[in-house]
Structure 1
Amino acid sequence: DFVDSDSGWLTDKHTRFLFLLDGFDELLLEGRESGGLKDFLQQIEQFQKDSHHRFLITGRPLSVQGIERVITQSEDLKRAELQPMHDGLRNMWHQKWSVMFGQTESDSFQEFLSVCPIDINNKLAREPLLLYLLGRMHREQRLKSEMFEGIQGPVAKLVIYDEAVRWVIEEQRQDQNVRLAGLESEDLRQALTEAAVCVTQSDQKVSKISFLEARLAHDKDNSIYELLQNARKNVKISEQKLLNNLLTAFYIKPASGDKEGSVEFAHKSFGEFLFAERLKDAMEDWSQEGKRRGEKYLVSPDTMHREIYDLLGYGSLTSEVMDYLMAMLFRSDNFEVLILFERLYNFYLRWCNGDFINAVETNWPRLKMTSLRAQIPDRKKPLGLQQINTYTGLNVILLLLELQRYSQKPDYLQDTLIFWPCGEPGTEELSSAQLRSIIGISECLHTNAFREIVGSFLSNSQLSGADLSNVDLSGVDLSGADLSGAYLSNANLSDADLSNADLSDADLRGVLFINANLNRANLSNASLSNANLNRADLRDSNLGNANLRGASLKSTSLNNANFSGTDIIDADLSNASLSRANLTDADLSNTDLRGASLNNADLSNANLRGAALIDTNLSRASLSRTSLSGAYLNNADLSLTSLVDANLSLTSLSNANLSNAYLNNADLKGTELKDANLEGTDLSSAKYLTVDQLHGARLCRTLLPKSIDLDPNRDCSE
């Protein structure tokens, strides 16, 4: 009431408000797709700057993919992780459970959780609503520890949700109206999965009962459809009321504030699980061979294409749905993965060719658009023909990528399934620029749509020889991907995960790799000239014979990296970490290595002429036969370093630490050694060293050439 009665409630300096905005990924779905989420966060940031109030906004991490920099570069926006129930809170919950149902039941439930897989005990059982569900199902003996033997991850969740659905359906069948209607469990389950489709495809995650009724009407043999038909003849009960009665369950409820017959899932996970089950049912059918003579498949190509657009032409599949779906499919006895993969790949090829969107007679994208607009007339931003076609294609790409990933797991098909987004090399299936074209087409959905929808599913993808020049793939997951020989010049791969990726022979000129993860990546023979690798992680990577001329590697982590034979001329490696790196035969002339760490690095035979090594850590490095003429090593740490046969002519080593270094046969002609620390340094066979060069240097236990008449312990007393 005070909001309405007090016009100054926001400006009162004596009162600070903390605004809690829960679930921005759902509330702002449409805004996010149009870039509105970024604008929203910037408005929050400005409001906090201009006022003394604060906001706490919650949502799923994937919802901010692509706009992370808005948060990380802001001083007023801080990202935090919402913690699950800790042990103290959960113990309090168990105490209250024991008050309601007795200590014996509470102890038994806790013992059950202790032997459950970690995904249940430490994840699901730390969410209040799901903890209640687990407790109630355990109390009614629907969950037992034996059910989870030998399973982990999404499969453990499947067991929980599947049993929950069975339990709720059995509870519902006790209802007299349901019993009289003669409905079977399968009928009710179908109604639930279709309800999940409706809710998922509705932009506000709330579905009209009429939408569900229309979907059920497609199956004329379904008992629920017959029940609806009979209801039309009974003036005492409406179809919507009947469906509402059927859907009244633990996880389905009337939509908040809605009076027109809408439903939503009380917990998002149930809707995702049931939607995945609906997809699984369809894909099982798509993967079956025909049973009649002359019938290749159980589901004809036309029917399959219609169903693909019907189920996938609404928006993007979430990672949660994909996890459930893959776990369901690969546990199913009615699923032929090779057939499904082949059929989906053929669909993908035709989709890339524009066969479906350009069809004159039966146009599945147009039919889906008409259906959605009829069933969701109040959608804020109705999907157009191109958007439905694009969403469908991107979702099929996700399915192909995940089928490939799952089939490579142990006990499956290993390398039998390979998805080539740009066509298999050596064939004319698709253009090498096909994926770049898809990325461009995806902009019809919203800016960076491909990156946000597909970006987290690209690990281990096959993109050898692909043309991805100038594309924005920042923040995507390309770990383990095959990008050998790919064209990525001027692409943006900042914050991307390219760990273990194969980028050998790739064209990476001018690419942005800022903050990218290239740990253990293969970059041999790659062209990285003028690339920006600032703050990237290149530990244990292979850069052998690569071209890094003019590249920027400021503050980059290159520990244990292989640079043998690499061209690093004019590169900026200031403050980079190169400890234990292999730089043998590398050309680092005129390279900026100020403040870099090269301890234990192997720089033998490297060319460091004119390089800036001021304040660089070269302790224990090997610089044998290295050319350092004209280099700047002021204040550098060369303690215990091997400089055997090194060319240090005209090099500045003033204030450098050369204690216990080895300079046998090193060329010191014109080398500046003022204030250098030569304690324990072996200069016994150094060439062209003069007495004048050693004035001002620290000599203590120094091994000097016989031609130098100086006390090798001159400065030990200092």
Structure 2
Amino acid sequence: MIAVTFFCQGFSALEMSNALGIQSNKVEAIAWVLLQRSLLQAMSDLTSDCKDSLNINKLNLKMLCEQLDLTIEKKNLPLDSDFFKNPKKIPVVEDAKNCYLLWLQSHGLQRAIAEVLANRLPRYFVFALVQQWMTNSHEYALLHDAIASPFATANEREWAWMRYSGWLQRKVDESMFGELFGLRQIYIRLRAYYKRSVKVNGSKRTERIVVDLEKNIKEWLEYAHHNDAIRVICGGPGCGKSSFSRMLAAKLTDEENEELPTLPVLFVPLYLLDLSGDLLESMRDFFQADLDNILPLNPLEKNNAEHRLLIIFDGLDELSMQGKVAAQVAKDFVSEVQRKLLAFNRQELRVFVLMTGRELTVQANKEEFRKEGQILHVLPYYRTREDLEKHIYVSESGLLEQDQRQCWWKKYGRLKSKPYNGLPDILNQREKIVEITAQPLLNYLLALSYECNTIDFLSKNDFNENEIYHSLLEQVYQRDWANYQHPTLGNIRQEEFERILEEIAIACWHGNGRTATTLQIEKRCTSGSLKKLLNVFEDGVKASITQLLTAFYFRQTGFQGSEATFEFTHKSFGEYLTARRILLEVKLIQQQLEQYRENSDIGWDEKECLKRWVMLCGPSKMDEYLFSFLCDEIRLNALDQVQRWQKTLCDLVSYMQQCSLPMEKLSPRLEKYIDEVTYSRNASESLLATLSGCALFTKEISSINWHGVSTFGNLLSTIQGQRVNHENPLVFACLNHLNLNRCNLLFRDLYMANLEGANLEGTNLEGANLQEVNLKAADLRMANLQETSLQRINLEGANLEGANLEGANLEGANLQRANLQRANLQRASLEGANLEGANLEGVYLERTKFSRANLKNTLWSKEIHRQDLIGIKSTLNIPDSTEF
């Protein structure tokens, strides 16, 4: 914190008033001191918040204090109840803001930019005022007795809520990404939709009802019934869920707010909750861990209960730290919250709960939220025509038609003093870039890259999201110190800076996905070559790590024991860096294994490679979001390089399933057998996922030497475990392009698996569940698919020549351009299937069902008998020579 408050230290309020030369009565003098202390503290905090944009060492703090004194001396201070009811509106605050504005300009900031910063002062002042009153209340005793204010009449509980409300207000005004503006200044009101089933002409269809998210929540808070106390907001990474929640909390606790009902709000980031016990116990621990004394008294305790309360639980997807499957932890938490709400709201609706989470987590718990409108899906800034045609949206007052990107860029231009009248045309010319600008977080990161010209948007045909994150890393490194040694980073080169951040990301991944302690980070960063990088700092490794964390987008969240805990400000930053580190390990393994094979005295053998892989990927599961970043990172490399990685990974999978993972080589070895099982499962899945990412890029078959016909099935069973719901483990999305030639997958559960491009020639899939599986372009020649469930399967372009599909259920399957020559379709059901352009020459048909099938441009043999084609229509395109 910038030391502008030195002027106040060591003096009582009366002593300060005398020092300031205030000659009025004591009550007014003390009020002036309270005002000055609070303003100075607010200016101090605000200036510290924007230190990246100001040269802190050259700030003339004495001049700021003197200018503030002169401003205060010239003004009258009305000592009435309005002094405390709405402190932002005290006239002298506006004068102080102008004083602060001039001071910022004197330090080189353009007026438009300085105004953005100065406009945030009033809310910083409110929080500082409450803090000052509560911390030094004994010094303001005369003022307490003289004014009928909320402060004077409030008890401890009310004071705590005032302070917490001020803190919530200030949080949305704090600098974001080192900018001079906060979330409040750049925020765009979000839209959302909920699903509604309707009957049209006797059949059901799903409509998406579009709403203004804030307005929808307002109506819920005002009119909800006592058994309707929960709302869930879901969306992908960076869609604005948490930003909306923070803005909602700030608005609901703002006395000036006229749009929303004012009520106490408790904002709870779920990764801070320990859910090993009862929810109420977890909340007690949450309040006890508040070392900064920001939170109010626990409103879930009977003595501190509020008449009405909104609790915002942010981040359902971040509940995986308890050692269980993430989806199960979230499900248990939701059930626990619902049980507690039944007790809290037995007589009347007193406690509301708003939850946020990523789509996959909420989808896994959708059965818990059956009321229409309980789950609200956040909409992006812009909807493509393709999406609007794909789904049925119902929108009032043109709500969905607005392109919110234009509004955002106009705001951004004003705040940055840039001539943006909307989204720059160059960013609206590539489909992939259009998709990125539609997402709030990525749109902002793209704006940073656009300003710095770090990405050539004109030449990009296949834009990659990871390029935006990499551009951000470059900007963080070069932001204000491109031409001189940075006081935090010293002489660390950019690639070294990025390497340390990757290790920090792994420490967070091994923790709960977003947070890690300095000790955990230190352990990762002091191993191997990274230790020498940290030695450039003068204050020791732990202090070095803390300094480095503040250079990137981290914030301190508290303590675990005596260790400070840091978190990524956005979880997706950690996922991006983790993906980079995993791919780095692939590069190292490929290089070292090649060296070993050329000269066994150097490099790593397969066992050493797999040991390192287990240490990196064993502690935590890879999820769909991390996998997506990994695939994008792979695509940034040359094709021949990725081909070499794919070959190396195939060799490791072959070695792993023959010799198993070398758990005995871990140092220290894991103490419990169940931990070794977990590490083995996670490492195996991550290995197959990384191989999948390479194959998605090369489009080549991953040739793995399966040492038995059941080996692959056994490996899949080990990773999958017992199915408990419709959700699949990640590995099911990562089976593309595998060589499963002649494998035995009898009665195998492959529901919704991705087997695109896989080689399944001669594979035994009899009785397997292939419902909704993606087998696009797969090779299924001579495969045994007898009595198999293939409903809604994607077999577009697949080769099924000679396959046995006797009795198979292919209802609703996509068989466009599939090769079914000489396949056995006896008793198969192809009702509603799409066979457009498929080749059915020489197929064996007996009692085969084709009702509602699309047989446009289908190739048939001449020897077809009508009795074999149940449901066939005379209007179908069948050769004239066909005998019926």
Q: Under a length normalisation based on structure 2, what TM-score does the superposition of the two structures give?
A: 0.54
Judged with a 3 Å threshold, the aligned counterparts in structure 2 of structure 1 residues 541 and 79 are, in CA distance, closer, same or farther, namely farther
Q: Paired residue for 1:19?
A: 231
Q: Paired residue for 2:439?
A: 127
Question: Which of 380, 392, 399 pairs up with 2:690?
Answer: 399
Is structure 2 residue 737 aligned with structure 1 residue 439? no
Q: Paired residue for 1:143?
A: 453
Q: Paired residue for 2:531?
A: 222
Is structure 2 residue 581 aligned with structure 1 residue 278? yes
Judged with a 3 Å threshold, the aligned counterparts in structure 2 of structure 1 residues 450 and 440 are, in CA distance, closer, same or farther, namely farther
Q: Paired residue for 1:102?
A: 417
Q: Paired residue for 2:498?
A: 189
* Unaligned segments of structure 2, at least 5 residues: 1-156, 162-220, 235-314, 383-401
By how many angstroms is 1:527 displaced? 1.3
By how many angstroms is 1:434 displaced? 1.6
User: Which of 1 and 2 has greater Rg?
Assistant: 1
Cα distance in 2 for residues equivalent to 1:209 and 1:292: 39
Q: In the alignment, residue 380 of structure 2 is paired with which amino acid?
A: P
Residues 375-400 of structure 1: CA deviation (Å, up to 9, x unaligned):
xxxxxxx9611121122122222222
- Identity among equivalent positions (%) equals 20
SS of 2:800's partner is coil
Cα distance in 2 for residues equivalent to 1:293 and 1:493: 43
SS of 2:809's partner is coil
Q: Paired residue for 2:769?
A: 492
By how many angstroms is 1:189 displaced? 2.3
Moved more, 192-201 or 458-467: 458-467
Judged with a 3 Å threshold, the aligned counterparts in structure 2 of structure 1 residues 290 and 504 are, in CA distance, closer, same or farther, namely closer
Contact 2:810 2:831 in 1 (8 A): yes
Judged with a 3 Å threshold, the aligned counterparts in structure 2 of structure 1 residues 407 and 75 are, in CA distance, closer, same or farther, namely same
Cα distance in 2 for residues equivalent to 1:293 and 1:585: 60
Correspondence list, 1:123-522, <5 A: 123-139=435-451, 142-144=452-454, 146=456, 149-154=459-464, 157-171=465-479, 177-178=487-488, 182-219=491-528, 222-226=531-535, 231=539, 240=542, 242-249=544-551, 251-255=553-557, 260-288=563-591, 290=595, 294=599, 298-299=603-604, 301=606, 303-322=608-627, 324-325=629-630, 328=633, 331=636, 336-337=641-642, 339-357=644-662, 362-364=664-666, 367=668, 369=670, 384-408=675-699, 418-421=701-704, 423=705, 430-444=707-721, 451-522=728-799
By how many angstroms is 1:498 displaced? 1.8
Q: Paired residue for 1:713?
A: none
Contact 2:624 2:730 in 1 (8 A): no
- Structure holding more helix per residue: 2
Q: In the alignment, residue 876 of structure 2 is paired with which amino acid?
A: N
Contact 2:230 2:353 in 1 (8 A): yes
Using CA pairs below 8 Å that are at least 6 residues apart, which structure has the higher relative contact order?
Answer: 2
Judged with a 3 Å threshold, the aligned counterparts in structure 2 of structure 1 residues 14 and 210 are, in CA distance, closer, same or farther, namely closer
Judged with a 3 Å threshold, the aligned counterparts in structure 2 of structure 1 residues 291 and 552 are, in CA distance, closer, same or farther, namely closer
Residues 283-330 of structure 1: CA deviation (Å, up to 9, x unaligned):
333333549994676455554333211222133434554454455456
By how many angstroms is 1:521 displaced? 2.6
Judged with a 3 Å threshold, the aligned counterparts in structure 2 of structure 1 residues 24 and 31 are, in CA distance, closer, same or farther, namely farther
SS of 2:488's partner is helix
Judged with a 3 Å threshold, the aligned counterparts in structure 2 of structure 1 residues 386 and 132 are, in CA distance, closer, same or farther, namely same
SS of 2:715's partner is helix
Q: Paired residue for 1:675?
A: none
Residues 665-704 of structure 1: CA deviation (Å, up to 9, x unaligned):
xxxxxxxxxxxxxxxxxxxxxxxxxxxxxxxxxxxxxxxx
By how many angstroms is 1:21 displaced? 4.3
Q: In the alignment, residue 212 of structure 1 is paired with which amino acid?
A: I
SS of 1:254's partner is strand
By how many angstroms is 1:242 displaced? 4.3
Q: Paired residue for 1:646?
A: none
Q: In the alignment, residue 13 of structure 1 is paired with which amino acid?
A: H
Is structure 2 residue 381 aligned with structure 1 residue 85? yes
Judged with a 3 Å threshold, the aligned counterparts in structure 2 of structure 1 residues 304 and 484 are, in CA distance, closer, same or farther, namely closer
Q: Paired residue for 2:181?
A: none
Q: In the alignment, residue 611 of structure 2 is paired with which amino acid?
A: R
Q: In the alignment, residue 478 of structure 1 is paired with which amino acid?
A: L
Judged with a 3 Å threshold, the aligned counterparts in structure 2 of structure 1 residues 150 and 555 are, in CA distance, closer, same or farther, namely closer
By how many angstroms is 1:449 displaced? 11
Cα distance in 1 for residues equivalent to 2:770 and 2:627: 25
Q: Paired residue for 1:113?
A: 427
Is structure 2 residue 877 aligned with structure 1 residue 601? yes
Contact 2:448 2:472 in 1 (8 A): no
Judged with a 3 Å threshold, the aligned counterparts in structure 2 of structure 1 residues 48 and 90 are, in CA distance, closer, same or farther, namely farther
Q: In the alignment, residue 807 of structure 2 is paired with which amino acid?
A: N
Cα distance in 2 for residues equivalent to 1:497 and 1:37: 28
By how many angstroms is 1:262 displaced? 1.7
Q: In the alignment, residue 19 of structure 1 is paired with which amino acid?
A: R
Cα distance in 2 for residues equivalent to 1:588 and 1:71: 47
Residues 337-372 of structure 1: CA deviation (Å, up to 9, x unaligned):
555444433322221024434x6xx423x74746xx
Cα distance in 2 for residues equivalent to 1:446 and 1:586: 45
By how many angstroms is 1:590 displaced? 5.3
Judged with a 3 Å threshold, the aligned counterparts in structure 2 of structure 1 residues 496 and 72 are, in CA distance, closer, same or farther, namely farther
Correspondence list, 1:558-569, <5 A: 558-569=835-846
By how many angstroms is 1:14 displaced? 7.9
Residues 175-204 of structure 1: CA deviation (Å, up to 9, x unaligned):
97526x654444432221111111122235
Contact 1:550 1:568 in 2 (8 A): yes
Judged with a 3 Å threshold, the aligned counterparts in structure 2 of structure 1 residues 312 and 349 are, in CA distance, closer, same or farther, namely same
Contact 1:563 1:586 in 2 (8 A): no
Residues 25-58 of structure 1: CA deviation (Å, up to 9, x unaligned):
3346866556566788999999999999999976
Moved more, 79-88 or 483-492: 79-88
Residues 120-173 of structure 1: CA deviation (Å, up to 9, x unaligned):
3x133233233333334544xx2255366245232xx33322221122123486
Residues 392-411 of structure 1: CA deviation (Å, up to 9, x unaligned):
12222222233233234xxx
SS of 1:495's partner is coil
Q: Paired residue for 2:815?
A: 538
By how many angstroms is 1:333 displaced? 8.0
Q: In the alignment, residue 542 of structure 1 is paired with which amino acid?
A: N
By how many angstroms is 1:215 displaced? 0.8
Judged with a 3 Å threshold, the aligned counterparts in structure 2 of structure 1 residues 530 and 36 are, in CA distance, closer, same or farther, namely farther
Cα distance in 1 for residues equivalent to 2:428 and 2:635: 27
Cα distance in 1 for residues equivalent to 2:615 and 2:841: 54
